């Protein structure tokens, strides 16, 4: 299967070639024909499946004809990082088309955004709050929007954006194409989809379980040894770039500081940072200046760093969905990646929930020559290590047509894997080759 089947404009094909995409991913294969025909689509797909290109390519194709310098496509995303990432993907794919995309999100000066809009762009990638702000001020004209994309709708719902989304809908022409993407389908999103999509084609890709190329391992550890284990694990593992998740802003900063002092090339990303420091952390991580990024869930939302080889859950996520989202950062577009999760004795019940969604037992690993017996410093109490897993977490339903594959060449339930080059690790052969051949930006 190649992209030729879609009969895209040659200038768009150039973008696809430049990014090194040789074959469409399953979400692209399944959704692009319907999107190209102008149909509404509900795409149940998580990050890492290639969903951005699945909607961006048909949008570019549509915009190749018709007026320029008129805002005709609106993409709404939950976070500025995701908005930036989509904007960059459109820039890369559409480089030869001369179509223009602008970003609209809060936390930064609005004037450059207003200027960019007034110069005439065909595509806006926006977060709900700032978009409504600019619309209220009459700085953005949504009356010519032909295509609306709501990306990561479940996350927008989690972040409380649903009322804003409904307000945005009122500003758009009723005759339009609407595409809604969501990794999970909570009731509120299902209802929103029912209200705003017209006779949609539904496409489901691997929803409910993390991207199947990711292999998982649990590292049981006492709370006070987590940082020491993290450093040892990274030293011992053949990693390209590592995204570490901690539970709170404070813990994120603390872990990154401890690692920095120990000489690791690390940056942190959490909601209290200025936009400049966020950008430095993100671009430094993407470009390899920082091999390790320690982040909170919200801050890491939408990060697309094509070469992430490992995700390490320093702290367990709060919900099974959050676990799915986190490890969607690795194993992107069918590369292999590893997801390591530190588990304390308090996390055990929640591990069962995750294994239920994965449909298999996750391997428990210990790191040889790591001293697990170092006692906790007296009087230490680490509130952040207390699990906050909510009761009755949403468990994404298992969907037909998606069966979790056995990972790592068929290692059976909990059976030991062939060990890697160094003790307690697996090498990621072939990963570097992929990176160099398909670098996206
Ligand atoms: P997404 O799910 O849109 O965040 O995409 C995940 C990653 O897959 C990004 O780095 C994309 O550049 C990459 N990607 C998207 N489509 C393809 C494709 N057809 N072939 C190879 N990589 C792709």
Q: Assign 334 a pLDDT band (cuts: 50, 70, 90).
A: very low
Tell me the whole-structure pTM to 2 decimals: 0.58
CA gap 235, 410 in Å, rounded: 27
Query: pLDDT tens digits, residue range 220-232?
Result: 999 999 999 999 9
Q: Assign 328 a pLDDT band (cuts: 50, 70, 90).
A: low
The class that CATH gives domain 3-204 is: alpha beta
Contacts (Cβ under 8 Å, ≥6 apart) of 208: 184, 324, 357, 396, 397, 398, 399, 402
pLDDT of residue 17: 93
pLDDT of residue 278: 84
The class that CATH gives domain 214-436 is: alpha beta
pLDDT of residue 197: 95
Q: From the alpha carbon of 85, which atom of ligand 1 is closest?
A: 4
Q: Is 52 in the pocket of ligand 1 (CB under 6 A)?
A: yes
Q: Tell me the two tokens of residue 82.
A: 């995701």
Q: Assign 299 a pLDDT band (cuts: 50, 70, 90).
A: low
Q: Assign 209 a pLDDT band (cuts: 50, 70, 90).
A: low
Q: Assign 162 a pLDDT band (cuts: 50, 70, 90).
A: very high
Distance 438 CA to ligand 1 centre (A): 10
pLDDT of residue 77: 95
Name the segment(s) of the chain with CATH classification 3.40.50.300.
Answer: 3-204, 214-436
User: Percent of the chain scored above 70 by pLDDT?
Assistant: 78
Q: From the alpha carbon of 440, which atom of ligand 1 is closest?
A: 12
Is residue 238 pLDDT above 80, yes or no? no
Is residue 421 pLDDT above 50, yes or no? no
DSSP secondary structure string, 379-418?
A: T---GGGS--PPTT---PPP-TT--PPPPTTT--TTPPPP
- Average pLDDT for residues 10-15, to the nearest whole number? 97
- Average pLDDT for residues 296-325, to the nearest whole number? 76
Q: Which residue has the tokens 């999760």?
A: 341
Calculate the CA dihedral of residues 60, 66, 69, 75 and round it to 10 degrees. Answer: -40
pLDDT of residue 95: 96
Highest mean pLDDT among 102-116, 154-168, 237-251: 102-116
Q: Is 81 in the pocket of ligand 1 (CB under 6 A)?
A: no
Distance 278 CA to ligand 1 centre (A): 23
Question: Which carries the bigger pLDDT value, residue 361 or residue 407?
Answer: 361
Closest C-alpha to ligand 1, atom 16:
50
Query: pLDDT tens digits, residue range 30-40?
Result: 999 999 999 99
Closest C-alpha to ligand 1, atom 20:
21
Least confident of 7-16, 70-79, 210-219, 298-307: 298-307
Closest C-alpha to ligand 1, atom 21:
21
Q: Tell me the two tokens of residue 14.
A: 């150039």
Q: Is 85 in the pocket of ligand 1 (CB under 6 A)?
A: no
Contacts (Cβ under 8 Å, ≥6 apart) of 43: 27, 31, 51, 54, 55, 179, 180, 181, 182, 202, 203, 205
The answer to whether 15 and 7 have CB atoms below 8 angstroms apart is no
Distance 413 CA to ligand 1 centre (A): 30
């Amino acid at each position: 299967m190649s992209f030729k089947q879609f009969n895209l404009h040659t200038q768009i094909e150039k973008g696809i070639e430049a990014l090194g995409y040789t074959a469409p991913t399953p979400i692209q294969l399944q959704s692009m024909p319907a999107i190209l025909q102008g149909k509404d689509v509900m795409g149940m797909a998580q990050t890492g499946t290639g969903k951005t290109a699945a909607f961006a390519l048909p949008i570019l194709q549509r915009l190749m004809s018709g007026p320029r310098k008129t805002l005709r496509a609106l993409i709404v995303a939950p976070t500025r990082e995701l908005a930036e990432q989509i904007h960059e993907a459109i820039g890369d794919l559409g480089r030869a088309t001369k179509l223009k995309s602008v970003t609209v999100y809060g936390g930064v000066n609005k004037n450059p955004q207003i200027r960019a809009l007034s110069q005439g762009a065909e595509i806006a990638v926006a977060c709900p709050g700032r978009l409504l702000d600019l619309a209220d001020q009459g700085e953005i004209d949504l009356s010519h929007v032909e295509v609306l994309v709501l990306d990561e709708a479940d996350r927008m719902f989690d972040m409380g954006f649903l009322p804003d989304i409904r307000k945005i809908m009122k500003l758009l022409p009723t005759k339009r194409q609407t595409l809604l993407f969501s990794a999970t389908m909570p009731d509120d999103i299902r209802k929103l989809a029912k209200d705003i999509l017209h006779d949609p084609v539904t496409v489901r890709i691997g929803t409910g379980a993390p991207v199947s190329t990711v292999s998982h391992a649990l590292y049981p550890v006492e709370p006070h040894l987590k940082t020491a284990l993290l450093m040892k694990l990274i030293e011992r593992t053949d990693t390209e770039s590592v995204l570490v998740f901690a539970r709170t802003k404070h813990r994120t900063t603390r872990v990154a500081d401890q690692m920095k002092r120990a000489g690791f090339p690390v940056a942190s990303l959490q909601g209290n940072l200025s936009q400049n420091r966020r950008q430095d952390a993100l671009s430094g991580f993407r470009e390899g200046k920082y091999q390790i990024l320690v982040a909170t869930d919200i801050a890491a939302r939408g990060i697309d760093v094509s070469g992430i080889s490992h995700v390490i859950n320093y702290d367990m996520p709060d919900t099974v969905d959050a676990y799915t989202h986190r490890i969607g950062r690795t194993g992107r577009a069918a590369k292999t990646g590893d997801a390591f999760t530190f588990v304390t004795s308090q996390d055990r019940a929640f591990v069962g929930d995750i294994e239920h969604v994965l449909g298999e037992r996750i391997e428990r690993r210990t790191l040889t020559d790591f001293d697990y017996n170092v006692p906790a410093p007296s009087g230490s109490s680490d509130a952040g290590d207390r699990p906050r897993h909510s009761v009755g977490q949403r468990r994404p339903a298992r969907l037909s047509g998606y069966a979790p594959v056995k990972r790592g060449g068929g290692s059976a339930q909990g059976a030991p894997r062939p060990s890697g080059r160094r003790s307690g690790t697996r090498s990621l052969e072939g990963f570097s080759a992929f990176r160099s051949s398909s670098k996206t930006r």
